[in-house]
Every structure is written in structure tokens, then in C-alpha cells.
Structure 1
């Protein structure tokens, strides 16, 4: 059994360790999180978990920059 996420008023832990100009709202719940943080995701860790579970380990970011 997993623990429920904290209230929306509490930021994602990633927001606590990144510079203030890199903090923004989660695209789903609007919780403060690291904008385009680990993996380029605009989701907090609680909103990202079910999405990543559906994607599986084979999905990777492909850079389009040269």
C-alpha cells in the first residue's frame, strides 16, 4: 500500500532543491515543482508516477537539438 500524497499546498521535494526561477506549477495538480525537471517532465512526482507506469521503461527522451 502506498502513502497518499501530501496536500497540494506542500511543494514537490524537487522544488526545494532547485533555484527559484526553475520552480513552476505541476501541469496536473498545480503543486509547486521543478519546471521541466528530471526527464523534462512538468509533473510533480505524484502525478508523474501513474504516467511513467503506463509508459514503461522503454520510453526515453530524444533530443532534437543539434
Structure 2
């Protein structure tokens, strides 16, 4: 069993890797790498259920 996610006020670990590119997660608004890990706009805790449902090859597609 995994541990529960930290409070939303605490940033995602990916935010530390890109200090100039920090923005809100599209799911919970937690500070995260603006483009996420691998181009995903979700923090790791919001991405886990998506990966569980669709697999690890899921990608974010722009609506533009």
C-alpha cells in the first residue's frame, strides 16, 4: 500500500527539477513542473490513477 499524498500546499517533487517552470497541476492545483513529467500537466499523485487506467504510455494531447 502506498502512503497518502502530502497536503496540496506541498509541491510535487518534479517542481524542484525545474524551478523556473512551476505551475499548477491540472487536477489538484498542487505546484508541479509546468509541463509535468514527460509532458503531462499532472502531479505524480493525480497521474497515478490515470496510468492505472490507461497504462504508462498515456500522453497529454493539446486541444489547440
TM surpasses 0.5: yes
Does structure 1 conserve the Cα–Cα contact (< 8 Å) formed by 2:13 and 2:32?
yes
Superposed CA RMSD in Å reads: 1.4
Partner of residue 38, structure 1: 37
User: Structure 2: how far apart are the matches of 1:52 and 1:32?
Assistant: 20
Aligned residues: 59
Q: Which runs of 5 or more structure 1 residues have no equivalent in the other structure? A: 62-66
- In the superposition, the TM-score normalised over structure 1's length comes to 0.79
4+ long deviations beyond 4 Å: none
User: Structure 2: how far apart are the matches of 1:41 and 1:10?
Assistant: 19
User: Structure 2: how far apart are the matches of 1:40 and 1:2?
Assistant: 24
Q: Which runs of 5 or more structure 2 residues have no equivalent in the other structure? A: 60-64
Greater helix proportion: 1
User: Structure 2: how far apart are the matches of 1:60 and 1:12?
Assistant: 19
- In the superposition, the TM-score normalised over structure 2's length comes to 0.81
Kindly state the Cα deviation for residue 2 of structure 1 after the two structures are TM-superposed.
1.1
